[in-house]
Amino acid sequence: MEEGKFDSNEMKDNIDPSPSTAEKVKLPEIGMIFSSEEEVRTFYNSYATNAGFGISKLGGRNGDDGKQKYFSIGCAKNRKKVSQAKNILHPRPSSKTNCKAKINVAVRNDRNFVITSVDLEHNHLLSPGKSRHFRCNKVLDSSTKRKLELNDQAGITLSKSFHSCVVEARGYENLSFDERKCRNYISEARRLRLGEEDAEALSNYFCRMQSRNPNFFYVLDSLLEIWSIMTLSL
């Protein structure tokens, strides 16, 4: 075995204990066929969650016709360690270990997806007990999104909304998301909502001006044309 790698026997003594480790999840195998990329990802993510690692799409290639020919999905710790910290004296630690665990998937002419190669070896410890914290497993379902938005519009704080989700799920460990995921979603929802309100306000303004001055849009078009000419001449 190569230096820095862990085989399946070593992993048994070097993983975080969790009830999920007792579950039976089928291992990826060469020749497995799926009907869509999403189906491939769902299967591999289920295996990864049980094993204790996060996943990400590593790349792919399209054919001359522009259609996808193959792609790879693997451990999220793929790639080499590259620090992007500006402070060279205190570089930000990287979670990447250049792990090679992955599956390669080819897209056949019948648009079915088949696994063509598999690498199950990781060069780092696995943590089944921490699987729910991996980015790929933090998902907000539509009902939760709706609940968060309604509560936000009603003036209910995000912390209270999240606590309500925890109680409803009967424990934080049963959620597929964390408070940060909720906070990011609400921030984006507020931004989009503000944009819609601005567009509505602008539309109402145009309607009012049109009712007051039938030539309003003619004047507006003329001003825009003059502005465009001045901009091009700069």
Question: Which band of pLDDT confidence, cut at 50, 70 and 90, is reported for residue 165?
Answer: confident
* Beta strands, E only, the chain: 33-34, 55-62, 68-75, 102-107, 113-119
Of the candidate ranges 135-139, 162-166, 209-213, the one whose mean pLDDT is the lowest? 135-139
pLDDT (mean) for 68-92 = 72
Q: What is the pLDDT of residues 117-132, one digit of tens each?
A: 999 999 888 877 766 6
Is pLDDT at 85 greater than 60 in this prediction? no
Cβ-based neighbours of 176, under 8 Å, separated by 6 or more: 132, 137, 138, 139, 140, 141
Structure tokens at 136: 């790929």
pLDDT (mean) for 82-111 = 74
Q: Provide the pLDDT for residue 81.
A: 60
Amino acid sitting at position 95: S
Q: Which has the closest alpha carbon to 206: 195, 225, 220?
A: 220
Q: What is the pLDDT of residues 18-55, one digit of tens each?
A: 444 445 678 999 999 999 998 998 899 889 888 888 88
Question: Which band of pLDDT confidence, cut at 50, 70 and 90, is reported for residue 90?
Answer: low
Is pLDDT at 115 greater than 90 in this prediction? yes
CA distance 108 to 33: 10
pLDDT (mean) for 69-90 = 73
For 211, the enclosing helix (H) or strand (E) is: helix 179-212
Of the candidate ranges 71-75, 158-162, 209-213, 218-222, the one whose mean pLDDT is the lowest? 218-222
DSSP per-residue string spanning 79-101? S------S-TTSPPPP-------
Q: Provide the pLDDT for residue 133.
A: 64
Is pLDDT at 221 greater than 90 in this prediction? no
Q: What is the pLDDT of residues 141-160, one digit of tens each?
A: 788 888 988 989 899 998 89
Q: Provide the pLDDT for residue 2.
A: 43
Q: Provide the pLDDT for residue 14.
A: 45
